[in-house]
Structure formats: C-alpha cells, structure tokens
Amino acid sequence: MVRVTTLALPAPPASRVDRSGEPLIRAAGVWKIFGRHADRIIGTSDAELPRAELRAKTGCVAAVRDVSFDVWPGEVFVVMGLSGSGKSTLVRTLIRLIEPSAGQVDIAGKDVTAASQAELRELRRHTSSMVFQHFGLLAHRRVIDNVAFGLEIQGVSKAERLARAEKVLQLVGLEDSANSFPDQLSGGMQQRVGLARAFAVDPKVMLYDEPFSALDPLIRRDMQDEVIRLQHETGKTMVFITHDLPEALRLGDRIAIMRDGAIVQLGTPEELVGSPADEYVENFVRDIPRSHVLTIRWIMRDARPGEEDGPRLDVRTNVRKAIPVIAESERPVCAVEDGRVVGVVDRETVLTAIAGESA
Amino acid sequence: MKVRAGGLVAAAAVVVVLVTVGSAAARSSACGTVTINEQAWAGSTANTYVVKNVLEKNLGCHVNITKVAEVPVYQAMADGKTDAILEDWGHQPQWDQYVTKQKTVVRAGANGVKGVIGWYIPTYLMKQHPEFKTWKGLKGKETLFKSPESGSQGMFLGGDPSYQQKDQTLIKALGLNLKFVSVGAEPAQVARWTQLYKQKKPVLFYWYDPQYLNATYQVSRIQLPKRFKGCLDDEKLGGDPKKYACEYPSYTLLKFMSKKFASSGSPAVGVVKRFSWSNADQNAVAKMIAGDHMNPDQAAQKWISANKAKVNKWLGK
Amino acid sequence: MAVAQPAARAVAAPAPRPWWRGRAGLVVAVVLGIVISYFGWRNDVPWPASLTWNSLAAHLDSFQTWLSDHRNLPHPSIVFRAFNGLASFLDDIVGWLTSFFFKLTWIGTTVLGVLVVLRYGGRRAALGVAAAFAAFAAMGLWEPSVRTFALTFASVALALAIGLPLGVLAGRSDRFARAITPVLDAMQIIPAFAYLMPIVILFSVGPGAAVATTLIYAIPPAIRITALGIRGVQPNTVEAATALGATRLQTLFKVQLPLARRMLLLSVNQTILFALSMVVIAGLIGGQGLGDVVTSGLYSNPALALLAGVAIVIMAIALDRATEAMAIRTDPAHRHLTEGKKRRLRLYTLACAAAVGLAVGLGYAFGAGSVWTGWTGQSWLLRQVQSVLDYVQNPSTFVFHITNPIGNFIVQYGLEPLRTFFVATPWPAMVFGLALIAFLVSGLRPALIVAAMLAVVGVANEWTPAMDTLSQVLVATVLTLAVGIPLGIWAAESERARRGMRPVLDVLQTLPQLVYIIPFIYLMPVSIVPGVMASVLYASPVVIRLVEAGIREVSPNSVEAAGAFGATRAQVLLKVKIPLAREAIMLGVNQGLIMVLAVVVIGGLVGSGALGYDVAQGLQRSLFGQGVLASLAILALGIALDRVTQGRRRRRLGDLA
C-alpha cells in the first residue's frame, strides 16, 4: 500500500507548526469495513483486494483502509478526496461516531479506540468538536441556543452558557442574529452558527466534515478566510475534510489525498503540486497554477560562479510573488536559505515554470 | 413552556372550583337507580320505555338505559352493570353459564309476548298461490323466487346473523331447490323484502312476530313440518339434517335480572317480575316508535295512560 | 461466437422483451392455469377434512367459558381483580371527564373548546369548533356528542401514553421495531368483533370496556407514526449532538423529540381519528354516546343512526383541523417568538382562562343546563333524512330503475361468477397459483408466507368463506382502483380538484363504516352489493391520496426535462409522472386491498356473508370460537394479499439498509 510519501528532494520547508513535540492526534492503521463479519477480513489477503472485488466477493465495503497519520498541535490537516473515497468515514472514526474496524486513534494522549462510553463522551464534550456539511442545527432553537447547545450538554448553567455563546457569536460576526432561528439565516450564516457551536466548547481539536461544500463559491471563499482567521486567532488544531483541491491548498499545512479508502499521498501543498506521487494525484493537481503554490526552491537552478551577488529572496518565497523582483532585476535572483545562497532564479527558469502550467 | 404552564394553572383552578361546586348533586328516592338494557329491535325499545316510564312516574326510580348487544349483556348483568333485560329470544349457552352455573343472573319470568319464527311470504302471494300454505307447495316452484344472487335456484332470504335460525339445514332437510342468501342485519333484510313487496314480486324470507312492521305489511307464514320429539333447533350442533326438519318452536319471551338487583329489595324488582303484556300491546308501542318515529317516552306514556289497568297490575295494586 | 463483440453489445440497446415474457405475462399465465384447473376439476377438490382442525373452535369456546366462570366467581383471582380495578379506573376517567364537561354547563363547554383552539390553533380552527358545537346542538345530539368526546379524549390520552414511549423505542431500535410490527398489523387487521367478548368478560361493559377496545385499535398508529418521526429526524442533527458528547437521553429529549414534533402531533391527530372510528363498535358494549345512537338506531330509526354518524364525522373533522392547526401554530421552529411576543401570549392565555371562568359563571347564573336542550332541528332533520331514505327505497322512482339494474348486474356478472370460481377451484391450484404470483411479483419469502397463510385458512376450517370473501375483496379492489387512480391523478394535476376532493375524502375516511352502509342498504339491497360499495368508498380515499402524493412527488427536474423536449402535458403524465410514481401507485393497490379487507366484517352485517358473517355471528350468537377463527382467516388473508402485492419495494429497501 502507499504510505506517507516523503519526497527525497528537496527537504520540506520550515513550517509555522512545531513538530518537535508529541502529535495531538495519532491515527495508526485505521480500518473501517462496512458489512457482515467485516472484522474477519482485516489481516487476510482479501483486505488487499480492490474495493469492487472485495464487495463482489464478500459483500463488504472497505471505506477506510489502513490509514495512519499524525497531526501536531496548531496544525491544519486536510484530508482530500473524491466522494466515496472514505474521507468522511475517516474523520468520524477519529471520535468514533463510526466505530473503526481496526487500528488505534489517540487524541491528546488518550487512546480513543479503547475509551469507555463515558470517557468517549468526555472527549467529545471537552477535547474535540465537529462542524458538519449540512450544519445539523436545531430548527426549534434560537441561534444563541444552538451555539450554547454543546455547553448545555455539558451541564453548564444557563446564564454562563448564554454569556459564552454570545462571545463566540461575536467572534463569527453573528451577534445581531442571536435571537433569530436557523431557517431565517442564509446557508453561509447557518454554517457560521455551526462554527460558533463548535468553538463555544473551546475544544483542542476541530473536525470539519466538508463544511463549505453546500455553499456558493463566493461565500465558500469568505468562510475559508473565516476559518484561516479563527485558526490564526485561536491556534486550534484542525482536521479538515474537503473534496475541493483549491480549498485544501489554501487551508492545509499538510494534505492527505485519499482514494478508495487509502491515503495515496501525504505532504505539504508544494509537495503535492511539485511532485505528485502518482497519476491520480497528478490529475488532481494538473489544473492548479503551479506558480501559486510552488516556492522558488522548486524552480531554482544551481548558481553559476559570479551570480551569487544578485538580489536576494528567501527560498520559501512563492513563485508568483517572486516574479516582479525577477522581472525588474537584470541579473538572476539568488534564493537564500539561512543566509546562504542555495540557488538562483532567472527569467528563463520562471518562464519555463509558467509555461509548464499551460502545457 | 412557561406560556403553557400559565394556562394550565388557570385551567386547573377553574376545574377545582367547578368540581367542588358541582359535587352536591341530587340523589334519587328509595327506589334508587334501575338500569335496563334496550336491545336493538323495536319491540325491545317498547318494553324498555314502558317499564322505564312506569318506574319513574309511579315509584320515583331513576332509570338508566344501556344498549349492550344481546350476548355481552349477560356479562353486564353478572357484573351488576345492567339490572334487567325484558325480552330474550333464547340464549341457552348463556343461561347455562350465567343462570344455572354461576347464578349471577336470575330469571324474571315471561314478558307475555309469544314469539313466532318462521318462513314468510307476502299475503298477496299467498292469495295467488294458496298451495304455499304449507312447505310442500314450494316444491317444484322454487324458481319463482329467483334473484340475482341465487343463480338458477330460488332465493331464501335469511335473517339477521344474530337471530336464532336453522334455515340452511331446513332447506337441505326438506330437499328444496332454494339458496340461502343472507343480506345481513335486520334493516338490510327489511329493505330487501319490502322493496320486492312494494313491486308485488315473489319473495320468501325468514321473519318473526311480534314485529311492528307486520302492521304495515301483510305477510303470511308457511306451515313447516310439525314439531316432533327430539327435533333440533341449534344448527351449530350439526348431524343429520333430518333431525332439524320441523318448524321453529314458539317462543315464550323471557325476562332476566342481575342477581344483585334481584336481591336489592328495590320496589322496582316486583314491577320487572310482574311486567307482562300482549303481542298487540307491544306492536302498538313499537309501531309508534319505529314506524311513526315518535319519541319513545311519549309513545310509552301514551300507551300507559290508555292502559291503566294493566299498569296497576304490574305495580301490584 | 462473440469474442470480438462484447464492446459493441454493451453499447447497443437491449432488445425490448415481448410483454408475455415479462412478469405481467407470467402472472397472466398463472391465472390461466388456475382457470384451467377450475374448468377441469370444478368442485372436485374441496379443502380436505383431514387437513382441518375441527375441535379448535370448541377449544376456544371452552376457553371463553372457563374465563367467564373464573371471572364471575364470588372471589375471583388476583388477575381478574386487577382487570376489575383497571376497568373501574377506565370507567372513572371517562365518567369524570363527562361530568366535568356537564358541570361546565353547555355554555362553559363551548367557550372552553372554542377558546383553547383559538389560543393555540387560530381563528379558522376555532370557527370550525364553534360550528361543530352548533351542529351538535342543532341535531339534538349534544349529550351523546359530549359523552363520545369524553370517551375519545380518554382513549386518545391513554393510547398516546402507551404509544409514544413504545414508538420512541421502535424509532431507536431496529430490533424492537421488527418485533413489534407484526403485532401492530394484527391489532389493526383483526376485526374488533372478534375480541369484543373477551374484553367484555375481562372489563365488563361500559365506557371502560369501550376504552379498552378502542386502545387496541388506536395504539398502533400512535406507535408507528412516532417511530417514523424519530427515524425521520435528520441524522446529521443527531450526529452533531453525539459529536458534542450528548448522552442517549440528552439526544432524545433535546434533539429527536423536539425535531420530531410535527410527526408526534400528526400521531396525536391520527390517533384521534382512529379512536373515533371505533366509537360505533364501542356502542355495542355500552360505550354510550353517539355509538349507542348509531347501533340502536340502525334497527329502529335509521335516519337517527345516519344523523349520529354525521355528528361523528363533524367531530372528527373539527378535531382533525383543530389539532392540525395547533400543531402548526405552536411550532417554535416556525414561530420565532421574541420575549415580548411571549409575554403578550401569556396575557392572552390568562384572558382566555378568565373568559372560560366567566362563561361558566354566567352559565350557573342563568341556570344553563349541563347539556344543550333548547331548540333543536332534530325532528325536522330526521324527517328530511327519512324522506330521502324512503325515496331511494321506493321501487317506483327512477332512482330505483338506475340502481337496481346496476346492483343486479354487478351481482350476476361480477360477484356471483367470481365467487363460484374461487370457491369451486381446486384448493391446490389456488394455493400454488397465488404463491406463484407472489413469487413473480414480490419474491420467494412473500411467496412462502402466502402459501403458509392460505394453509392457516384451510386448517382453521374457513376455506370456503375465505374464498368467498376473497372474491368480494378482489371485485371491490378493482372498483376502488378504477375510481381511485384516475381521481388521484386528477387531484395531482389540478389544484382545484384536490381542494374540492379533500373534504369529501375526509368525510369518507372518518364516517363510521357502519353508517355509510345505511344508504346503500336502501339504494341497492342486493345482498353483497352494499358491502362492496362501502368497501370502495372506504378504501378509495387512501388510494386517491397515495396516487396523488406519488405523482406530486415526482421530481420537478424530470418533469422540466420532459417539458424541455416539447412533451405535451399528457405525454409528461403518461411517460414521466406515472412511471416514476409507480411505487406509490403499487403501494396504493396494496393499501387499497388491506382497507377493503377491513370493511369485510361490517359487510357481514349487510349481507356480504362469508368471513364477515361468521365474525359478526361469533359475537352475536356467542360462537366465540367461530368468530376467532374467522378473524384469524381474515388476518391470514390480509397478510397473504399484502405479500402478493407488496412488490419488490421492501426488498429493495432491505438492500439499501
């Protein structure tokens, strides 16, 4: 099976995420097979069968196949795939909304898969929180009561939970709609309520299950900005499910691409676009303007003698942002990492890179 | 939630006040309350309302009327929920069970009405075919009674499923080319034969007397084979059809009381026991009620005021 | 041959199969086979006596005797005393409610009813309730109406108290739902006549027994609709609550029940209607009220029985509209109450309560009676109804010359030949034929069930009456579909037709079965016809509504697409809507059959004979065993017919699950 594909070339860019400590979420060998006697399949040769064959042979559907990954605190981890790729099932197995058939999930140092019902409830109440594609709001409650719902479940007193809900509503810019009912709001606003409800319990981990796919493109963009903003302000760890690659690239620190229940590639946006692991991923990223995602590290060439004194740019600079500098400079631009020139970029390399996009 | 709670409190307050105000209701005199069951047919309505008015006007009883079906009413009497029925056409299994074995129901004598069950045809037909006086005359002429339901045979119109009958077996025993057709409950049967009657068409049907309709329609009974010793009436028992080949018995219609009522010492018990009148009396009252749609109480009072002597006898005067 | 061909064949459209090779053709072939066996061995192969269990009826009879003997001992066992206590508890509830309404005086009762509906259901519904009160007064049926309402109210409250929790269980547990479904089916199909006598032995007669009988019939819809409501709550809201760490109880009370509110209130509404439809039967065992008036009036005063039937319908429609309006108007998801509005509503409630109190006070001050006894139009109404009945009954009018030939025709060329056919066909041909049809239409399991059910009918010694009943059920069903499907399509296509039909359908669905047989007794007193007509009238509203809903629910996209290709309205209907609504129409056929079967017993009272006659006689001539066996046969027949016609619908659903 395809495991986490680490690229030999070049080393991943330094990230704003600190990966030195323990991961907050750790999924190891997670399986989910739907159907009778599903547990008997794992570990046999049947488990290696392609999905359609497995279904024909046993009547079972393997939704998630041996998935492993780690997510560190403060990271935005995106799982991307087409519908039916198992991504929504995967996120549900993390907090056992769907029981995994095999494998282990740890969240914040706790073995979720071994947790009792009570422990699991505690986890869901205080550690994690989820935003759903179809919002899942309660039509018979006001917006503020919806936001306070998680706190109500925890048994927080009415006055306190309303006060907290009000604050969260301000955070998502819905303070004026506190007394409205869900059906009086637009889809985008309803999902803000969904966001607020998830934030209100102040979780360590936020799980998003295709939260914006039911929204119009323009509103979707707004909401993505909103998530980025909230993430910056609160520093929450997020697992974000989407079928939309641009969305994945915008939000994700790292992205896992799933196909038929398994991860085919896991890496930073640049890694995916710069060196797709296989044809499947390549097909996905083909239409993405490479200059928007890649840094100059991906297009630089070795410096020839005498070129090392040109204008300098950090090697992590986005190609698109580097273009004006390169265009203005008569000489090749030096890519610098840790104060050392590691390569140069000139007009020719940039043009080749951009031309490659339209090919 | 609060909105509703407010409403509930207010409603509850109203209820409490009303119940306390209203519970000081009136009670009846020494006779107390007597519950009589009215059966579905008009003759029973006549009995019930005449006795009701006698008890209310002369003894100051309060009379309730229940309308429980014929068989369940025995359980009602066993439980003391119904005190009396004034006309029963024969429920041997219930008598065995409630009167003989359990002794929860007691007999209250006959109501004076003689019940006759038999095969009837309209009188105009009898005049055209005098041979129909006895069943033998029907032989070979059965197809006269042909109907859409009976195919090539003649139609015999059966009675209400709840009534005492053995016609299917009788037809077999007598070797008649008739088909037993049930049109269901009595109103349906009446609708069927009266419609044919009005068209002066031939019709042969299960019927009985006393019946208030006999005052409106002229019907004649066909003589069935005479009763013989060991002659059977309960079709359910099965066996040789020949054993059933006799006419229906003439019924002495009976009254029954609940054990509880009978031993209550109420003056109404005596009236129920002594109540007895003739076929003509009952038909007269039933006709007023069912035929002329008079209010049953008014009809009963009309008859009572015209028959003081009989009423006095019931009262033991 | 075709090594090189598969690709080409995959593209080519499959050749249309000739119809006689399709399922319809095979079914026709099976029917032909049965017909051939009829002509070959007519009357030669009756159900063998060696395969019947004759003593079963006697055993049942002696069970009833045993029950009665032990129940009526001077010191009955604790079980019977418990039933006694339960019976008097039920009696007391109804009695207390009745006397409560009486003590309010007729003014107070009216004001209470109208204001409660006005406060929670709005002006229209309140107007309906006021009109209903006026109608009861005008018909001179105030007292029986109040009694019937008290009986219904008590029955519905108890049915909900039992049905809602069980419905919640059935909504949350598949296993419980599967276990309870056949029980609910039996409770609804077994005719009340069959269990009336045991009920009377256990509960005696009176309102308590009436409530017990009503409960048996009214609990199933409460359970079913509640379960449906719980299941209908969007899974994502439940999931959201679970993800927030809600316990099962929290999810139930904070999410599932509030969101299932509409369905829960619908179950209240349906329970009321089901309870009201038992009012007449309850009249047979001392239920009092309008049911009494119907059952006793049927013999001595049919016009009054009809009038009481109309009163039941008016009550049903008023309650239906009132509960529906209250359900919609009190829905927090659509009302969007602010604090200010809430305060005003609270004042409004208090004002209404005060008005009721005032009305009661005025009632006492002016000495108003507990029931309305003032002017009524009863005698006038009775005269009118009677004159209509007399008119249709009169064989010298032109009505008779229309109805009589129709009735005779149906009997002579429809019912009688079919009855002969069903009764005289060799039983193995019938059993295997019907099972085969079930196999073709619905699959193997249903086919086995059909065979088993027909065997039950035979063993219970009810083969001949059951076949007789089956023939009538088929004729009635064909007529029902002939009426229901076109009307359903029309109602789906024309909003005006739908609105015009609605009140008529409501009346037909709520009119007690016994009541609308009355006119037919007079109109076509040809034994089997009134029962068939009544079945058609009773069953066609369901068919009309299912067909209409099915066609309306056809996705507008498909209709639009067809329109874009220039299809005419008729083409859209025939080529898009009806094919897509096929499932709903099949369901209509299925439900139509079951509803027709439900009228069978009542049909027995008006000459349909067969199983209905046996059941009715079972109660009325104390042939308990016979009644139970005939009821069992009706149940078996119902299950068999359901399985034959259920189609592959449920199987497909099973695949999805």
Query: What are the domain boundaries of chain B?
Result: 32-113+252-314, 115-250
Nearest to C285 by CA among C205, C405, C217, C229: C205
Residue A15: predicted pLDDT: 53
Rounded distance between C-alpha atoms, residue C55 and residue C339, angstroms: 71
Chains C and B touch (3+ CB pairs under 8 A): yes
Rounded distance between C-alpha atoms, residue C163 and residue A282, angstroms: 58
Residue B224: predicted pLDDT: 92
Residue A47: predicted pLDDT: 74
Chain B touching partners, 3 or more CB pairs below 8 A:
C
A150/C331 CB distance under 8 A: no
Tell me the C-alpha to C-alpha distance, in Å, between residue C390 and each of B140, C399, C402, C548.
35, 12, 16, 37
Question: Which residues 6+ apart lie within 8 Å of A230 measured at CB?
Answer: A171, A172, A195, A199, A236
Averaged pLDDT for residues C354-359: 89
Question: Which residues 6+ apart lie within 8 Å of C469 measured at CB?
Answer: C600, C608, C610, C611, C612, C633, C634, C637
Cis (ω within 30 of 0) for the bond into A73?
A: no
According to CATH, what is the number of the domain C83-374? 1.10.3720.10
Q: How confident is the model at residue C605 (pLDDT cuts 50, 70, 90)?
A: low
| Continuous segment of H or E residues that includes residue C581 | none
Residue C648: predicted pLDDT: 61
Averaged pLDDT for residues A130-143: 87
* Residue B193 Cα, gap to closest chain C Cα (Å): 9
Are B112 and B257 within 8 A, CB to CB? no
**Nearest by CB to A132, which of C236, C247, C255?**
C236
User: Which residues of chain B, if any, have pLDDT below 70?
Assistant: 1-29
List b or e across C451-487, with b for residues whose CB sees 16 or more CB atoms inside 10 angstroms.
bebbbbbbbbbbbbbbbbbbbbbbbbbebbbebbbeb
Backbone angles phi, psi at B153, to 5 degrees: -90, 175
- 3-class DSSP assignment, residue B182: coil
Rounded distance between C-alpha atoms, residue C309 and residue C538, angstroms: 14
Rounded distance between C-alpha atoms, residue A265 and residue A251, angstroms: 17
> Among A160-174, B46-60, B240-254, C70-84, whose mean pLDDT is lowest?
C70-84
Contacts of C395 in chain B (CB under 8 A): 195, 198-199
Residue B16: predicted pLDDT: 45
Rounded distance between C-alpha atoms, residue C84 and residue C78, angstroms: 9
User: Both tokens of residue A63?
Assistant: 């939704």
What percent of chain A is helix, strand and coil (3-state, nearest 5)? 40, 20, 35
Residue B218: predicted pLDDT: 92
pLDDT at position C271 over 80? yes
DSSP-derived pairing of the beta strands A254-259 and A237-242: unpaired
**Nearest by CB to C245, which of A121, A134, A181?**
A121
For chain B, helix (H) and strand (E) counts, in that order, are 12, 9
pLDDT at position A10 over 60? no
Rounded distance between C-alpha atoms, residue C532 and residue C482, angstroms: 14
Q: How confident is the model at residue C19 (pLDDT cuts 50, 70, 90)?
A: low
Q: How far is CA C361 from the centre of its chain?
A: 41
Q: How crowded is the C-beta side of A286, counted as CA atoms within 13 Å?
A: 8
Q: How many residues are present in chain B?
A: 317
Read off the DSSP letter of residue C47: P
Chain A touching partners, 3 or more CB pairs below 8 A:
C
Averaged pLDDT for residues A331-350: 82
Higher pLDDT, A321 or A3: A321
Are B40 and C295 within 8 A, CB to CB? yes
Rounded distance between C-alpha atoms, residue C136 and residue C315, angstroms: 9
Strand partners, B110: B254
User: What is the gyration radius of the CA atoms in chain A, in angstroms?
Assistant: 23
What DSSP letter does each residue of B225-284 carry, written as one string? Answer: PPP-TT----GGG-S-GGGG-SPPPPEEEEEEEEHHHHTS--HHHHHHHH----HHHHHH
Residue A1: predicted pLDDT: 38
Rounded distance between C-alpha atoms, residue C369 and residue A106, angstroms: 75
CATH superfamily of B115-250: Glycine betaine-binding periplasmic protein; domain 2 (3.40.190.100)
Residue C159: predicted pLDDT: 94
Select the residue from B182, B192, B258 to test the C interface by mutation, using most C Cβ atoms within 10 A.
B182
B67/C416 CB distance under 8 A: no
C342/B181 CB distance under 8 A: no
pLDDT at position C224 over 80? yes
- 3-class DSSP assignment, residue B46: helix
Q: How many residues are present in chain A?
A: 359
Residue B292: predicted pLDDT: 82
Backbone angles phi, psi at A99, to 5 degrees: -70, 125
Question: Which residues 6+ apart lie within 8 Å of B91 measured at CB?
Answer: B70, B71, B74, C622
Backbone angles phi, psi at C612, to 5 degrees: -60, -45
List b or e across C369-394, with b for residues whose CB sees 16 or more CB atoms inside 10 angstroms.
ebbbeeebebeebbeebbeebeebbe
Residue C94: predicted pLDDT: 92
Residue A117 CB coordination number (10 Å):
10
The proportion of chain A whose per-residue pLDDT surpasses 90, expressed as a percent, equals 17
Strand partners, B119: B206, B222
Higher pLDDT, C563 or A356: C563
The proportion of chain C whose per-residue pLDDT surpasses 70, expressed as a percent, equals 92
Rounded distance between C-alpha atoms, residue B72 and residue C620, angstroms: 8
DSSP-derived pairing of the beta strands B33-37 and A333-337: unpaired
Select the residue from C52, C196, C285, C299 to test the B interface by mutation, using most B Cβ atoms within 10 A.
C299
pLDDT at position C539 over 60? yes
pLDDT in tens, C297-343: 777 778 888 889 889 989 988 998 898 888 888 877 777 777 778 88
pLDDT at position C1 over 60? no
Are A10 and A297 within 8 A, CB to CB? yes
Rounded distance between C-alpha atoms, residue C559 and residue C574, angstroms: 11
Chain C touching partners, 3 or more CB pairs below 8 A:
A, B
Give the residue extent of every domain in chain C. 83-374
According to CATH, what is the number of the domain B32-113+252-314? 3.40.190.10
pLDDT at position A283 over 90? no
* Residue B4 Cα, gap to closest chain C Cα (Å): 8
Residue A11: predicted pLDDT: 36
Mean pLDDT score across all residues of chain C: 82
pLDDT at position C10 over 70? no
Q: How confident is the model at residue C20 (pLDDT cuts 50, 70, 90)?
A: low
A138/C247 CB distance under 8 A: no
DSSP H helices, C261-377, are 261-277, 279-283, 290-300, 302-329, 332-335, 339-365
Rounded distance between C-alpha atoms, residue A222 and residue C237, angstroms: 24
pLDDT at position C67 over 70? yes
Nearest to C204 by CA among B72, B37, B260, B69: B72
Question: Which residues 6+ apart lie within 8 Å of B201 measured at CB?
Answer: none
Residue A16: predicted pLDDT: 66
Contacts of A94 in chain C (CB under 8 A): none
Residue C306: predicted pLDDT: 86
Edge-first strand listing for the sheet containing A340-345: A312-314, A333-337, A340-345
Q: In chain B, which residue's Cα lies nearest the Cα of C620?
A: B162
Nearest to C240 by CA among A242, A234, A180, A200: A200
pLDDT in tens, C146-174: 999 999 999 999 999 999 999 999 988 88
Select the residue from C233, C244, C254, C339 to test the A interface by mutation, using most A Cβ atoms within 10 A.
C244
Residue C45 CB coordination number (10 Å):
16
A130/C254 CB distance under 8 A: no
DSSP-derived pairing of the beta strands B251-258 and B84-88: antiparallel
Residue A4: predicted pLDDT: 36
Q: How confident is the model at residue A7 (pLDDT cuts 50, 70, 90)?
A: very low
